[in-house]
Amino acid sequence: MGHIQRILVLAVFVLMALTRVPAMAGEAGRVQFLQGTVQIINVRGEEHGLKKDEVLWEGDTVVTGDDGELQAVMADQAFIAIRPNTRFKIEAYVANGTQEDRVFYSLLVGTLRSITGWIGKYNRDNYKITTPTATIGVRGTDHAVSVVLDLKEGELSPNTPKPGTYDVVTEGTTFMRTQYGVQDIQAGQAGFSASRAITAPVVLDRIPQLVQALPNFDKVTSLKAKLKSQLEAKLRKKQQLLQKLQSGGEGAAQLLPKLLNTSGGQSDRTGANTVRKAKVKSTLKKAKTKIRARLKNNQR
């Protein structure tokens, strides 16, 4: 690699860090299993039926119908399963193998099962699920979150779950936080934050019925073990790509397109990635112009 090219590659890396533009932001995960009616709404408000193997992006909102179910493997070797009658949004997903990695979900209604990847393991403060009544964080875990909305008086029955947020932990530990306090939830426990409550979340006496029967989760056991066994290798590979770019070594320049878009040629349907790439390209163009001008002045 020539001297000028090496300087440009190093400048690219530094500028990305300074501008906090994630090198591989955008792609959050990929659909592994799909059943029934599942719609996706991108950041432009465009809606279409989701398909197996389709990419999930930052900013996407997933809406499942009465028969809809979705399972996806995420960018940091995490896993999510979305149940029927759920509205779920990927607010942020960055999995570059750095301390800037983060996962922010929002769950408006319905049920989400989340098995965390390396972000939940190493960047726990950067993982959260926001619901209408609570914010949920983890300490490396497998858990299911359900949101039950307020119902009209005529719609209530003895078997109707109380409105609010439920968090059932299968493995690890989570915590539920509201303005009134924080409650830790251990494996085998269920936490609850009631709608319109003026008290802290609580641990329930038993697991609520609404998250006990989870169809198609028999498919999860083997996949969960596989993802866990591959986690460290996938993380190291991601970190090595960034290190190679930072070093400015041979072939580093060719890594830039790959680092800016992890979709492997998938179309950019969200618009968010287009804006992000445009900002990076503009920054790179300015950096190249300045560096070349300086090198030209030094040669005089």
Q: What is the pLDDT along the chain (300 residues), one digit of tens a residue?
A: 455 555 555 555 545 444 444 434 478 999 999 999 999 999 999 999 999 999 999 999 999 999 999 999 998 989 999 999 999 999 999 988 888 899 999 999 999 999 998 898 888 899 999 999 999 998 778 899 999 987 665 555 666 788 999 999 988 999 999 999 999 999 999 999 999 888 999 999 998 877 655 556 566 766 776 777 777 777 887 777 777 776 665 555 555 555 544 444 444 454 445 555 555 555 556 555 655 665 566 555
CA distance 274 to 285: 16
The contacts of residue 62 (CB under 8 Å, 6+ apart) are 38, 39, 40, 50, 56, 70, 82, 86, 87, 88, 89, 90
Residue 269 identity: R
The pLDDT of residue 176 is 95
Residue 3: predicted pLDDT: 54
The domain ranges of the chain are 28-229, 231-299
CA distances to 64, 96, 153, 207 from 160, rounded to whole Å, are 21, 42, 11, 14
Sign (positive/negative) of CA torsion 237, 101, 167, 62? negative
Give CA separation, 78 vs 69, 73, 175, 179, in Å.
Answer: 17, 6, 19, 29
- The pLDDT score that the predictor gives to residue 263 is 44
- The pLDDT, as a whole number, for residue 259 is 53
H or E element: which one contains 188?
none
Q: What span, in angstroms and rounded, lies between the C-alpha atoms of 92 and 57? A: 9
Q: For domain 28-229, which architecture applies?
A: Sandwich (2.60)
Amino acid at position 131, single letter: T
Distances (CA, A) of 233 to 24, 71, 170, 238: 17, 22, 25, 9
CB of 296 within 8 A of CB of 4?
no
Can you give the three-state secondary structure of 65-86, one letter per residue? Answer: CCCCEEEEEECCCCEEEECCCC
Q: What is the pLDDT of residue 288?
A: 57
Give the list of residues 6+ apart from residue 145 with CB closer than 8 angstroms, or none.
107, 111, 112, 113, 114, 129, 131, 136, 165, 166, 167, 168
Predicted local confidence at residue 265, as pLDDT:
41
* pLDDT of the residue at 18: 42
Name residue, tokens 């959050």: 28
pLDDT of residue 60: 95
Task: Check residue 25 and give its pLDDT.
Answer: 41
